[in-house]
């Protein structure tokens, strides 16, 4: 992760000349790049303002494209990817789509009832007929690029693709194929009372690639609750459709603003999901993230927090629940660069069958960050002898007046706990599921959307623990 120091920029040269001089280092990655570039060109809007914005973005896209061409897909020889093998991804040839599939209905997107407004993207393409944007408070914008009000069009350029880590290979690939952006903008001192729901739906039969992009700006003193959801049209139980979702969400939280963010990844069992959440917090701001990972053959979530002012507060809650042969990787990095910063992180994994969970959490506390209070804990529950977890919580501290702690636990269901419940008339399977539910409830109960709490609790209740494979 490059949350503290970005890679050296591409030398100032004519982009065309530099592009012609750069050799493609990874043929497969170049193939993905060609697909997303073709995808973008095939859906160019005739809207004059959007074309103008795309022209402004061209510099970003060209630099990102050069980074991709000079990069290679990570392998297990890279420290940040040593437990996550992308060789299965290389075996699939993905193609882009330029049209939405027909017949998508509300039952496919499963909107949460508490959200008065939602944006829906199908295969990365905005679906206005499934979206609801009405009755917003003054100063609140919920839109894709084309629908942005005139006063916000230039302001978006000040924030888009400006967070740290822009040159990470999958982030650069996303920027190279910019097609559209979900924009959430909350003006100064505005409090949004109901959640805003972002739904990124995958639908189709052939292996496809989509590049969801989201930009959230919470101005000074504002407050917003956001639910960001990635799902398959047929549900997480679908084991047929193969596709790649490469998503990037950038969140800017200005002074004394608050963002409560729930991220739910519930895609099909044969899919690949690579996600980045990059957050910049100004002083006195508060950010809470509930990251839930349920689906995907291989999923990776990079969560990068930059505290850019004193007295910021960051709370990260995570729950991964996987089975079969799934692999779910969570990498987080929190940079507490100023005094009196606070962060609290709890990430839980429930791993069954032959599944493999990975957690790598980093907390950086440099010398200026005096009086920092940071806590990080990863707890893992293995439900099968062949289930696996690799965990690596890390603290890097150079400040000398801080309160920091980190730890990790790996355990199985305790026989005496199961026996105790059986002695109270509960059968063994129900006893085990009750204990699994209690383990997950600590995370689920903190999500500020009751219907989503209920939905996730039902998912946990239906989860079948496996002790032998």
Taking the C-alpha atoms of residue 207 and residue 51, their distance in angstroms, rounded to an integer, is 29
Mean pLDDT by 10 residues, the chain (469 residues): 41 43 78 77 48 66 83 93 95 82 80 94 91 92 89 83 83 88 96 96 85 96 98 64 93 98 92 96 98 95 96 98 95 96 97 96 95 96 95 93 94 84 83 90 97 94 55
Dig out the tokens for 367 from the structure: 């010398």
Furthest CA-CA distance within the chain: 76
Crossing angle between the packed helical segments 428-444 and 415-423, to the nearest 10 degrees: 110
Residue 397 pairs in a beta bridge with 365
The pLDDT, as a whole number, for residue 344 is 97
The pLDDT, as a whole number, for residue 6 is 36
Taking the C-alpha atoms of residue 271 and residue 299, their distance in angstroms, rounded to an integer, is 8
The pLDDT, as a whole number, for residue 19 is 46
Q: CA angle, corner 110, sides to 265 and 461, nearest 5? A: 65
Strand runs (DSSP E) across 187-307, as ranges? 196-202, 208-210, 213-218, 223-232, 243-253, 258-266, 272-281, 286-293, 298-307
182-186 and 140-143 strand pairing: antiparallel
- Closest to 359 measured CA to CA, from 384, 381, 344, 378: 378
The pLDDT, as a whole number, for residue 203 is 83
Write down the number of H helices and E strands in the chain. Answer: 10, 20
Find out whether 293 and 319 touch, Cβ atoms under 8 Å: yes
Taking the C-alpha atoms of residue 215 and residue 131, their distance in angstroms, rounded to an integer, is 17
* The model's pTM: 0.91
């Amino acid at each position: 992760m490059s949350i503290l120091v970005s890679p050296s920029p591409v030398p100032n040269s004519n982009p065309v000349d530099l592009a012609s001089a750069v050799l493609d280092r990874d043929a497969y990655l170049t193939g993905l790049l060609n697909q997303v570039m073709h995808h973008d060109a095939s859906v160019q809007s005739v809207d004059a303002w959007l074309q103008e914005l795309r022209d402004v973005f061209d510099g970003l896209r060209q630099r990102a494209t050069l980074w991709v061409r000079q990069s290679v897909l990570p392998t297990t020889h890279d420290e940040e990817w040593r437990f996550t093998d992308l060789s299965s991804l290389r075996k699939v040839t993905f193609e882009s789509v330029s049209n939405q599939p027909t017949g998508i209905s509300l039952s496919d997107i499963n909107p949460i009832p508490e959200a008065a407004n939602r944006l829906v993207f199908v295969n990365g393409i905005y679906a206005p007929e499934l979206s609801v944007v009405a009755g917003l408070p003054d100063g609140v914008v919920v839109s894709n690029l084309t629908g942005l009000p005139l006063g916000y069009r230039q302001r978006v350029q000040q924030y888009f693709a400006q967070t740290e880590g822009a040159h990470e290979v999958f982030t650069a690939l996303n920027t190279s194929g910019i097609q559209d952006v979900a924009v959430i903008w909350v003006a100064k001192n505005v409090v949004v009372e109901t959640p805003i729901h972002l739904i990124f739906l995958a639908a189709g039969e052939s292996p496809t690639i989509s590049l969801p992009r989201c930009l959230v700006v919470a101005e000074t003193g504002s407050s917003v609750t956001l639910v960001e959801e990635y799902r398959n049209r047929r549900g997480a139980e679908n084991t047929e459709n193969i596709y790649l979702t490469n998503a990037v969400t950038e969140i800017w939280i200005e002074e004394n603003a608050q963002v409560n963010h729930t991220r739910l990844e519930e895609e099909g069992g044969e899919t690949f999901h690579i996600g980045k959440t990059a957050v910049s917090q100004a002083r006195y701001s508060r950010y809470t993230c509930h990251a839930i990972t349920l689906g995907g053959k291989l999923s990776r979530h990079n969560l990068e927090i930059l505290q850019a002012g004193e007295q910021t507060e960051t709370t990260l809650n995570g729950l991964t629940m996987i089975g079969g042969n799934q692999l779910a990787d969570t990498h987080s990095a929190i940079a507490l660069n100023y005094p009196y910063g606070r962060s609290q992180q709890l990430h839980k994994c429930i791993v069954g069958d032959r599944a493999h969970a990975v957690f790598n959490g980093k907390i950086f506390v440099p010398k200026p960050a005096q009086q920092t209070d940071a806590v990080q804990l990863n707890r893992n529950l293995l439900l099968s002898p062949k289930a696996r977890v690799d965990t690596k919580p890390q603290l890097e501290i150079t400040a000398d007046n801080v309160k920091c702690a980190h730890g990790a636990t790996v355990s199985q269901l305790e026989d005496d706990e199961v026996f105790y419940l059986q002695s109270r008339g509960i059968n063994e399977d129900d006893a085990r599921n009750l204990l699994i539910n209690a383990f997950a409830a600590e995370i689920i109960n903190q999500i500020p959307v009751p219907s989503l709490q209920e939905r996730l609790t039902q998912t946990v209740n239906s989860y079948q623990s496996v002790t032998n494979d």
